Amino acid sequence: MAMDAELRDRYGRRHDTLRVSVTDRCNLRCFYCMPERGVRFVPRRDILSFEEIERLARVAAGLGVSRVRITGGEPLVRKDLPRLIRRLAAIPALEDLALTTNGVLLAELAAPLYAAGLRRLNVHLDTVDRERFAGITRRDALERVLAGLEAARAAHFDPIKINVVAVKNLVEPDVAPLVRFARDRSLEIRFIEFMPLDAQGLWDRDKVLSAEEILEILARDIAPLEEVAGQGAGPARRFRFTRGAGEVAFIASESRPFCASCNRLRLTADGKLRYCLFALEETDVRTLLRSGASDEQLAEAIRSTLAAKWEGHAIHGAAFVAPPRAMHAIGG
C-alpha cells in the first residue's frame, strides 16, 4: 500500500515518534505513580505480543515514524525484551530506538539489550541516598539501580540519561547530589516537572518544583547555568554550567508546556493508541491487530488518532480533567 511520507495533525505538527509501553507492571512503587498495594494490572492475554508491536511499528514507520521509545510500567520486567528490541532494530525506517527504565534489572540486561540493537537509555533515579530512595519507591533497590547504570556504561550505551521527577518539598535535597553524580560519570540529567498522572490523586500545582527553582538551587550549590543555543526539536530545555563541564536539562511540562511542538504518539501495553499523555480518548488497535485488519486499516487508525489530537493538554485550564489511567498504565 502507498504510505504517507509524514504524519501531520490539523495544527501542522509533524509526528515522527512512537512511545511503546510493553507492560503496565513495575517492580517499584513510587508514591507519585502507583499505590503500594491493590494495583489492578491488565490481564496478560490483553497485552500486545512482540509480533503485534512490531507490526504496528512497521506500519507507523511507513507513515513517517522514525523514532521509537520502549517504556512501561517497567519494561525490563517484560520477559525476553531483547527479542523485541532485535525485531524493532531490524525495521529499516526506524532511525532511533531508545528505552526508559528504572534500572533495577539493568545490570543483568544491559549487555543483551545492547547486543540486540538498543543504543540509548533513560534511567529513572530521584535520589542517590538509600533511605530516601526507599521512601520514594517503597523498595530498597538503590544499589541495584546503581549497578545497572555501571553495567550500561560498560556496555557503551550513549547517551545514558538520568530522569528525575521534580516534586516540590521532596526532591530539593537531592538536586545537587544527583547533578554531581551525573557529572562525575558523564551522564546526562533531566528534571521532569511533576505531572497530574499519579494513581492516587496526590498532584496539585503547589507540588510542582519548576525548572526555574531547580536552576536557583544549582546556581547556589554548584554553579550558575546558561541556556544552550540551538536546542533542537525535543521537549527538553538544556543548560550548561558556566564553570566546568556538564549539562542539565528540563522537561518543563507544567511551567512551560511544549504542546506546540509535540511530535509523539503513544501505544499502551494493552494496545490502545493515544495522541497525548493526558488524552481522555483512545484508539483500540489491539482489536484490529487480532481480527485480521490490513496494514491500510492500521494506518487509518493511526491517522484518525492523530486527526483527533487537540492543540494542547490545558493542564492550567479550569476545565482540565486528568486521564483515567495512571502513568504506569499509559507508558512513560
Pairing state of beta strands 14-15 and 7-8? antiparallel
* Whole-number pLDDT of residue 1: 43
Residue 162 three-state SS? strand
* Whole-number pLDDT of residue 147: 98
Q: What's the mean pLDDT in 105-124?
A: 98
Question: What is the C-alpha to C-alpha distance for residues 166 and 146, in angstroms, rounded to an integer?
Answer: 20
132-188 pLDDT, tens digit per residue, is 999 999 999 999 999 999 999 999 999 999 999 998 999 999 999 999 999 999 999
* Whole-number pLDDT of residue 197: 54
Domains defined along the chain, listed by start: 7-330 (3.20.20.70)
Answer whether residue 2 shows pLDDT above 50. no
- Listed in sequence order, the residues at least 6 apart from 120 whose beta carbon sits closer than 8 Å to its beta carbon are 96, 97, 98, 99, 157, 158, 159, 160, 161
For the whole prediction, is pTM greater than 0.85?
yes
Question: What is the C-alpha to C-alpha distance for residues 280 and 302, in angstroms, rounded to an integer?
Answer: 16
Using a 10 angstrom Cβ sphere, with 0-12 exposed, 13-18 middle and 19 or more buried, the burial of residue 260 is exposed
* Whole-number pLDDT of residue 126: 97
Answer whether residue 239 shows pLDDT above 90. yes
Alpha helices (H) along 75-140? 81-89, 106-116, 130-137
29-75 pLDDT, tens digit per residue, is 988 888 778 888 999 999 999 999 999 999 999 999 999 999 999 99
* Whole-number pLDDT of residue 259: 80
The closest of 205, 208, 168 to 320, measured between CA atoms, is 205
